[in-house]
Structure 1
Amino acid sequence: MTVSGPEARAQGREGPPSPRRHRDDRVRPRIRRRPARGRRPVPRGRGHGPDAAPGGTGRGQGARGGRGHPRRLSRGAGLPDDPDRHTRLPSVAGGGGRVRHAPLRAGVTVLALLAASACSADRAPGSEATVASGDPAACPGEVLDVVVSVAAWSDVVRRLGGDCATVTTIAASPAGVPDDVVPADRAAFAAADLVVLNGARYDRWAVRALEASDGDPVVMTAADVADDDAARPGPQLWYAPDVVPAVAEAVTRELAALSPDAAPYFDAQHTAWTAELQPYLAAVAALREGSAGHTCATTLTAWGPMARAVDLADATPSGFRRSLRSGSEPAPEDVEAFETALRAGDVDVLVHDGAAEGTTADRLRDIAEDAGVPVVEMTAFPPDDDGFVDWQVTQLAAVAEALAEEG
């Protein structure tokens, strides 16, 4: 873990107030404090949990079209009118299996990639989709085309699919989250066997892309797996430790149903990934144990589900929280309430959006540092060179360290 003075924030969009801008997405979580006069902050080594621990879970036997199976998207299906409800994909009658023609699928994939290349000019710089290709020679069954809406779920899906899945990530970084559908998105969705969405109205643009595409993929949303918990404090479900293993199990079940010959392979991938997830679950448990009697405040909307999961009391003013979730400018009285809480010692740690920049964000961070409140910088999506587990373990360890120093 690194202790440092002010430095450039990184990583992209997470949905904060409007004065923020975003930089490169390679920020690392760190605890920031205002150094004493005449002294420069001294770096520390970065702490991680163990790389892996033994373990594994069994999977339910999901059959295509059976109970709990993701529903297909009907053409022209609209979004719910109620803005507080999670995105739900309506069912279509008679959901049976599809006939596979491998040469045709390969052709469709090539056409989709060509379309994506041709249409990349429709996207903002740095927002092109990324593709991790499967290996037909190493896969015991059919290599599936999987599209993931946002990179926060991408590493999980890639690890589960392994050689038997070509995984296309549409929004490969927070800066690349699109505001609307572009032809490249429709081409990727049209070629997909399985689409993995976050849901909870976080990636509504992906639902629109699915509606506009000519494909017929199986669609799975993390919000459906999470059982539509209306009390969850944010739509970023990859920050909810109860949802992550459930999504992994659901993805594995659908991969096995779509490529039955590779089902034992997907089962082995899931078992291995579940073992690798143990340091993350252990870090969550350790933070929950150390959070008793402590408070946090945040400028990172994504942190809400994790704060709730570890029983860390959220001292962020409610009006400021609402502005974060809506992406609107916080009211002056909400900013003032935030500043007062920091100066009064009502906050033990400030979880700060490492991508945030602007007058409000900078002022809150500086006030926290001046008041002796540790500031842990986090990001909404994992950096490019980190997998999900390493990214989350590092961030959770930073918060645990900050709370331990507070006593």
Structure 2
Amino acid sequence: MNRRTLPALSLVAVAGLALAGCAASGDDAGAAEGGSVSVVASTSVYADLASSVFGDAADVTAIVDSPSVDPHEYEATAQDQLAVTEADLAIFNGGGYDAYMEQLVEAGEVEHSVMAVEYNHDYPDAEVDGHEHSDEEADADDHAEGEAEHDHAEDEGDGHTEAEHADETEHDHAEGEDGHNHVEGFNEHVWYDPHTMIHVVEAIADEASELIPDEADAFAQNAADLTERLEGLEAGLADIEADHAGATVAFTEPVGGYLTTAAGLEDVTAEGFAEAVEHGQEVAPATLLEATTALEGGEVDVFVVNPQTAGPETDAVVEAAETGGVPIVEFTETIPDGDDYVTWMQANVDALAAALGE
């Protein structure tokens, strides 16, 4: 029996979790006999990507699939636990974002798991493409510094971090008021980086091929088709960067940060504002004043609002943006009804371009 554990960065996010299972193959694979495997994802984002790769070979469901639900605040149910326990593959974001899913996976027995944060270059000590980045490479890849280079041809590789490195990788976690672990200083909304999702799609295809070896070629083709669409998103972001590099953006909450960085925009959000909103904490009066003043005073070119984390402070900054004539763009946590991941993200790219005066 070939046992597999979560990659090192996954083990960090799920402290003490040793998630292991049998790699299905041949007659042992459920899909070989029943024609389908069960895939459960934390949100509609990862469920949609998995559905695109698996096609009809898997039953894919999402724990959180409503745009009106904030995954940060979601509390899992007994039905959710049953779904995850019976799953052949569980997919979640990690980095403290979907802690409910990490808890469900920890409590259940899942054969395989994929985690998105480990494929993002900004994650502390992230290993992408099978090697750990040096300080120089990390600086080159640091989205927060505005260096968004997306050359997929140079990033070929399975992106997996082997479990034996788990003991070598330690990250500081700060616990928010919602009780969910959060990686300090890290924006966990990695699905807003199409390049990271390219790596995730590759990883899902690898997992699918282990579960259903006979369909490996089909999975690889599905992944290639999806990757081509994701690369189209990158091209659109490059166009925005060519036209608006250096334009300023502010946020009510960190969602969308990777997308705007890839578009060459400078984040000028008042320090501490977005983080407080994200974790349901009260925004300091001085911070709120700084945020509203910047919006009213013409210091911000576009304002990104997450409608799923609304409150008095966000209402105040939205009003300030309207007063200052700052274009407002809404970026949600999950896929709106009627869209898939790529059409949703393309709409976000288009909205950003329009707000900046394409």
- In the alignment, the residues of structure 1 paired with residue 122 and residue 251 of structure 2 have an alpha-carbon distance, to the nearest angstrom, of 24
- In the alignment, the residues of structure 2 paired with residue 156 and residue 94 of structure 1 have an alpha-carbon distance, to the nearest angstrom, of 23
Deviates more, 1:282-291 or 1:201-210: 282-291
**CA 1:92–1:195 in 2, change beyond 3 Å: closer, same or farther?**
closer
Asked if residue 315 in structure 1 is aligned to residue 268 in structure 2, the reply is yes
Asked if residue 172 in structure 1 is aligned to residue 65 in structure 2, the reply is yes
Asked if residue 195 in structure 1 is aligned to residue 90 in structure 2, the reply is yes
Q: 2:44 aligns with which of 151, 155, 164?
A: 151
Q: Could you tell me the percent identity over the aligned residues? A: 31
- In the alignment, the residues of structure 2 paired with residue 309 and residue 365 of structure 1 have an alpha-carbon distance, to the nearest angstrom, of 24
- In the alignment, the residues of structure 2 paired with residue 94 and residue 355 of structure 1 have an alpha-carbon distance, to the nearest angstrom, of 36
Alpha carbons 1:342, 1:368 under 8 Å: kept: yes
Deviates more, 1:241-250 or 1:299-308: 299-308
Deviates more, 1:86-95 or 1:148-157: 86-95
**CA 1:94–1:379 in 2, change beyond 3 Å: closer, same or farther?**
closer
Q: 2:218 aligns with which of 237, 240, 265?
A: 265
Q: CA deviation at 1:236?
A: 1.1
Taking the TM superposition and a 5 Å limit, the aligned residue runs for 1:3-22 are: none
Q: Which runs of 5+ in 1 are unaligned?
A: 1-63, 81-85, 106-135
Alpha carbons 1:241, 1:284 under 8 Å: kept: no
Q: Deviations over 1:84-115 (max 9, x none)?
A: xx44675578965568567xx6xxxxxxxxxx
Asked if residue 330 in structure 1 is aligned to residue 283 in structure 2, the reply is yes
Q: Secondary structure at the match of 2:357?
A: helix
Q: CA deviation at 1:331?
A: 0.9
Q: CA deviation at 1:270?
A: 1.2
**CA 1:283–1:141 in 2, change beyond 3 Å: closer, same or farther?**
farther
Q: Secondary structure at the match of 1:317?
A: coil
Q: Secondary structure at the match of 1:277?
A: helix
> 1:216 matched to which residue of 2?
110
- In the alignment, the residues of structure 1 paired with residue 321 and residue 5 of structure 2 have an alpha-carbon distance, to the nearest angstrom, of 47
**CA 1:280–1:93 in 2, change beyond 3 Å: closer, same or farther?**
closer
Please, what TM-score do these two structures have when normalized by structure 2? Answer: 0.73
Q: Secondary structure at the match of 2:329?
A: strand
> 1:238 matched to which residue of 2?
191
Alpha carbons 1:295, 1:313 under 8 Å: kept: yes
The one-letter code of the counterpart of 2:276 is: S
Alpha carbons 1:234, 1:325 under 8 Å: kept: no
**CA 1:216–1:99 in 2, change beyond 3 Å: closer, same or farther?**
farther
Q: 1:344 aligns with which of 290, 297, 309?
A: 297
The one-letter code of the counterpart of 1:193 is: D
Alpha carbons 2:193, 2:259 under 8 Å: kept: yes
The one-letter code of the counterpart of 1:399 is: L
- In the alignment, the residues of structure 1 paired with residue 311 and residue 277 of structure 2 have an alpha-carbon distance, to the nearest angstrom, of 14
Q: CA deviation at 1:228?
A: 6.5
- In the alignment, the residues of structure 1 paired with residue 105 and residue 19 of structure 2 have an alpha-carbon distance, to the nearest angstrom, of 14
- In the alignment, the residues of structure 2 paired with residue 227 and residue 352 of structure 1 have an alpha-carbon distance, to the nearest angstrom, of 25
Deviates more, 1:257-266 or 1:364-373: 364-373
> 2:327 matched to which residue of 1?
374
**CA 1:312–1:274 in 2, change beyond 3 Å: closer, same or farther?**
same
Alpha carbons 1:277, 1:389 under 8 Å: kept: yes
> 2:341 matched to which residue of 1?
388
**CA 1:318–1:384 in 2, change beyond 3 Å: closer, same or farther?**
same
Alpha carbons 2:253, 2:275 under 8 Å: kept: no
Q: Deviations over 1:173-194 (max 9, x none)?
A: 2516364332112211121111
Q: CA deviation at 1:333?
A: 0.8
Q: Deviations over 1:290-321 (max 9, x none)?
A: 33121011113212222233231111101213
Q: CA deviation at 1:350?
A: 0.7
Q: Secondary structure at the match of 1:202?
A: coil
Alpha carbons 2:20, 2:110 under 8 Å: kept: no
Structure with greater Cα Rg: 1
The one-letter code of the counterpart of 1:272 is: D
Alpha carbons 1:189, 1:217 under 8 Å: kept: no
Taking the TM superposition and a 5 Å limit, the aligned residue runs for 1:70-109 are: 71-72=5-6, 86-87=13-14, 90=17, 97=24
- In the alignment, the residues of structure 1 paired with residue 123 and residue 209 of structure 2 have an alpha-carbon distance, to the nearest angstrom, of 27
Alpha carbons 1:156, 1:388 under 8 Å: kept: yes
Q: Which runs of 5+ in 2 are unaligned?
A: 125-141, 145-185
Q: Secondary structure at the match of 2:356?
A: helix
Asked if residue 305 in structure 1 is aligned to residue 305 in structure 2, the reply is no
Relative to total residues, which structure has the larger helix share, 1 or 2? 2
- In the alignment, the residues of structure 1 paired with residue 262 and residue 242 of structure 2 have an alpha-carbon distance, to the nearest angstrom, of 11
Asked if residue 181 in structure 1 is aligned to residue 45 in structure 2, the reply is no
Alpha carbons 1:301, 1:325 under 8 Å: kept: yes
The one-letter code of the counterpart of 1:332 is: P
Asked if residue 229 in structure 1 is aligned to residue 123 in structure 2, the reply is yes
- In the alignment, the residues of structure 1 paired with residue 15 and residue 242 of structure 2 have an alpha-carbon distance, to the nearest angstrom, of 35
Alpha carbons 1:237, 1:243 under 8 Å: kept: yes
- In the alignment, the residues of structure 2 paired with residue 181 and residue 221 of structure 1 have an alpha-carbon distance, to the nearest angstrom, of 19
Q: 2:315 aligns with which of 340, 359, 362?
A: 362
Please, what TM-score do these two structures have when normalized by structure 1? Answer: 0.65
- In the alignment, the residues of structure 2 paired with residue 337 and residue 244 of structure 1 have an alpha-carbon distance, to the nearest angstrom, of 34
Equivalences, count:
294
Q: Secondary structure at the match of 1:244?
A: helix
Larger RCO: 1 or 2 (CA < 8 Å, sep 6+): 1
